[in-house]
Amino acid sequence: MSDKEAAARLLRNARREMLLILGVTALALVWTVGYCFLHGYQHAPDSWVVQSGLASTRSAEDLQQIAGLPDWVFVGIVLPWLMCTAFSIGVCLGLKDDDLGKEAASTQGAAHGH
């Protein structure tokens, strides 16, 4: 493979990875912030989220624990965190290595001791 082709391949792969990562970040944001807001926040009974049935009012007595954590922390944060970690490792194992190219002579000769 020529240097130019290797560079073009890296650009294509890096672009795809960037879009994938931005997508995963958006998904994690919606899950984490969305779930925690709906299930981990104390809402007033007349708030729109309660009125629309998306969330319930939560009192101190309602708190459930999963593995010592409040239920909303486990489902809204720890679970997606574990999934993101698994996904990151999967992505890293699945990614192909690209040739980063050769180091060009620095723009300034002095930097290389000329």
Partner 1 sequence: MGIELSTDSAQVLVAFAAYLVGVALLGYFSHRYLTRGAFVNEYFLGNRGLGPWVLALTVAATAISGGTFMGFPSLIYTNGWIMALWIASYMVGPLTGMTLMGKRLNQVSRICGSVTVPDVLRDRFNSPTLGITASLLILACLMVNLVGQFKAGGTVMREALRLPPLRADVAATEVDDKNKELVVTFRQDDGTELTQRTALPAATAVLLPNKTEIRETDNGPDHLLFHFQIDKTEAVKRVAFPPQQLRLPFSGQALDKGYLLGLIIFAITVIGYTTYGGFWAVTLTDVLEGLVMLAGVITMAVLAVRAVPAIEVERSVPDRGAGQAATRKVELHGLAAATEHLRRQDPQLVYGPGPGDYLPLGMAFSFFLMWSLMSPGQPSGMVRLMSFKDSASARRATMLMCFYFAITYLCLLAIFICARAIFPRDYLHEAGSEARGEPDQIMPAMARHLAHPLVAGLLLAAPYAAIMSTVAAFLLMISSSLVRDLYQRVINPNVSERTLKISSYVITALVGVGVMIGALNPPRFLQYVIVFTGSAMGCAFLVPMLLTLYWKRATRSGILAGMLGGFFAVVSLYVLGWTDSRCQRALKEYEQATAVAAARGEAPPPAPVTARWLDDTLGWIPGWGQERHDPFNPIFAAGVDTLVWGMLASLILGVGVSMLGRPDAEQVRRFFPELES
**Binding region for partner 1 (CB under 8 A):** 4-5, 7-15, 17-18, 21-22, 24-25, 28-29, 32-33, 36-37, 40-42, 58-60, 63, 65, 67-70, 72-73, 76-78, 80-81, 84-85, 88-89, 91-93, 95, 97-113
Compare residues 53 and 110 and give the one whose CB is closer to partner 1: 110
What residues form DSSP beta bridges with 65? 70
Q: How many residues does the chain have?
A: 114
Compare residues 51 and 85 and give the one whose CB is closer to partner 1: 85
Query: CA 86 to CA 93: how far, in whole Å?
Result: 11
CA distances from 17 to 12, 22, 27, 30, 65 (A): 9, 9, 15, 20, 37
Its sign, for the CA torsion 70, 76, 82, 85, is negative
Give me the least distance between CB of 35 and partner 1, in Å please.
Answer: 10
Compare residues 53 and 109 and give the one whose CB is closer to partner 1: 109
